[in-house]
Chains A and B, each alone.
Chain A
Amino acid sequence: MNRRLPTNLVIGAVLVALVVGVAALSLVWTPHDPTLMNIRGKFADPSEAHWLGTDQLGRDVVSQLMAAARNSMTVALVAVLLGGSIGVALGLFASAVGGWVEDGVMRLADLGFAFPALLFAIMLAAVFGPSLSNAVLAIAFINIPIFARVTRGSANQIWTLDYVSASRAAGMNKFVISRDHILPNIAAAIIVQATIEFAVAILAEAALSYLGLGAQPPASSWGRMLSEAQTLMYLAPQLAIYPGLCIITAVLGFGLLGDGLRDISDPRLSRQR
């Protein structure tokens, strides 16, 4: 067997390290205050002080991109953790109980697929007004059925293993078995899925913020920077380039990392692709 790490894993890990590193750095340091306006210095060209220049309000672009990276990572993390834990719990529960309960839970999960994150965010925005927390909720919501499905599928396989049936025959509680034996065994599949959904969440946050359903001013967001830049494309087209490149880097990074992790955790799957 070839022991070399898959290319997609390596590239993905590098990109992810870059984005996460920048996001972490922005917690303690950005070149300027990302929200600091300076109308006289608007649309500045790149310089020693402003590496990528300034925007229509004279804010430093690099600082905004860095703060946006942090916001984007936070949204994706919270949304995937929230939706993922509910989904995993539902999946484990369905798999442990089985029978019509399992069918019912999975049907319910199917229902979730009828609502893209955008539709859910639209409903929440219409009712509560647009906000970043609504965007997080919407993204978390679409993750529930995805994780429920993956968890239940992998868990059902583990339940058929000998030692699991043995502990069951020994009278162990199903939910204890789920926690102690099933969960550790399907952790790899869940982590792979989470990495891929992380990429999807970043993309969704950008789209929602672009549409005004996510991050609200003055919070920095790649999507919102793009929607502002769109109205300025005759004046300062460069402003529409940087945030897009950031989104691609982040999405590509997590996507490749997820693919790569799947390749090494389940060689059977990767050969099929």
Chain B
Amino acid sequence: MGYFLIRRTVGFVLTLLAVSVVVFAVMNVLPGDPALTILGLDATEDALDALREQLGLNQPLLTRYFLWIWNAVQGDFGISHSFRVPVSTLIGERLPMTISLAVAGMFFTLIIALTLGIGAAARHRKFGDWGVMLISQLGIAIPAFWLSILLVMLFAVKLRWLPPGGFAGWSDPVAAMRSLILPTISLALVQSAVLARVTRSSALEVMRQDFVRTARASGLSRRRVLWRHVLPNALVPIVTIVGMQFAALVTGTIVIENVFYLPGLGRLIFQSIANRDLPTVQALVMLFAAIVVTANFIVDLLYVVIDPRLKARA
């Protein structure tokens, strides 16, 4: 167990490092002169020199990489050009929005997907099963941003129940919640399509196993057998997909924030691209990639919590 933890943790840290190398390389080695990218072709040579100095571009590449990592570990991602504040401050301001969206999105994804998936498995080859499969097949093909637009047209433009986008801040919690309802639903509906299928097929697999018959023979209700015996055993493949979906969730959050004009990290990243704010973009990409890698690391650990047989082997 201890050995397993150490091995996984080392692997996790190495992956993070490798990811940071890729990010740094793409953002710093490829472009030629970041100062030129940032200031544009019509910048004066003096201004360029000053910026190079500020960005530390005169130092060797390797030094710059280690400086970046060293500072980043301490929470210092440099200064944003366009906003003229530390990138960490920007991230701190916008993180709550992105986290709320991602967590709420994942929460509703799990609820929708597990309910539909288990429900479909329980009605295998019947009408309900067929319906769930059809909906999820459609859900996989629907782009999240299009679904968002449709929802906005229905609930904001036509029915006027909810705001079409924007965010007035957390000071009015009810208004904040109202602004987050449509984004969360869009995110969750699209994500749950894939997960519902995985849940269904995984549950069907488990339902064929003997211990399910034992549970029924003990006089347990169908509902209890499904949720207490089938679901936990179906979780391993489900958790794998949830881990893989974190990448999609991160992407989805970035997209959805831009659809609904929500002031989160995803919106910030696009503003930074428009402003050619390379240090901010670099920090944010690294942050998002780190979230994906961390999610997969946590999934690895979860397997062991879910399945005692793995603990013995680990």
- Please report A residues at the B interface, Cβ cutoff 8 Å: 110-111, 113-120, 122-128, 130, 199, 203, 206-207, 210-212, 223, 226, 229-230, 233-234, 237, 240, 243-244, 247-248, 251-252, 255-256, 272-273
Contact = CB atoms under 8 A, between A and B. Distances in A.
Contact of B247 (A116, A122, A223): A116
Given A114-B293, A233-B149, A233-B152, A123 B285 contact: yes
B137 A252 contact: yes
B305 interface: no
B26 interface: yes
Give the interface SS of chain A, mostly helix, strand, loop or mixed. helix
Contacts of B138: 248, 252
B141 A126 contact: no
Given A126-B276, A211-B255, A116 B153 contact: no
B254 A210 contact: no
A247 B27 contact: no
A123 B250 CA distance: 15
State the 5 A-B residue pairs at the shortest beta-carbon distance, nearest first.
A244-B146, A251-B141, A252-B141, A126-B281, A127-B31
29 contacts: A111-B22, A113-B296, A114-B15, A114-B19, A114-B289, A116-B251, A116-B292, A118-B251, A118-B254, A124-B26, A127-B31, A199-B141, A211-B270, A212-B270, A229-B149, A230-B149, A233-B157, A240-B149, A240-B150, A244-B142, A244-B146, A244-B150, A247-B143, A247-B146, A248-B138, A252-B137, A252-B138, A255-B141, A272-B205
B277 to A, nearest CB: 8
A122 B289 contact: no
A249 B247 CA distance: 24
A110 B18 CA distance: 11
Given A119-B288, A126-B272, 7 more contacts: A118-B255, A124-B26, A126-B276, A127-B30, A212-B270, A247-B143, A251-B143
B239 interface: no
Given A116-B251, A119-B288, A234 B157 contact: yes
Interface in B55-109: none
B269 interface: yes
Give the bracket for the number of chain B residues in contact with chain A: 35 or more
A206 B259 CA distance: 14
A123 B149 contact: no
B145 A207 contact: yes
Contacts, number: 125
Contacts of B145: 207, 210, 223, 226
B140 interface: yes
A123 B281 contact: yes
A247 B205 CA distance: 33
Interface string B199-210: 001000100000
A128 B146 contact: no
B281 A230 contact: no
A119 B266 CA distance: 10
B214 interface: no
Contacts of B146: 226, 240, 243-244, 247-248
A261 to B, nearest CB: 16
B23 interface: yes
A203 B285 CA distance: 21
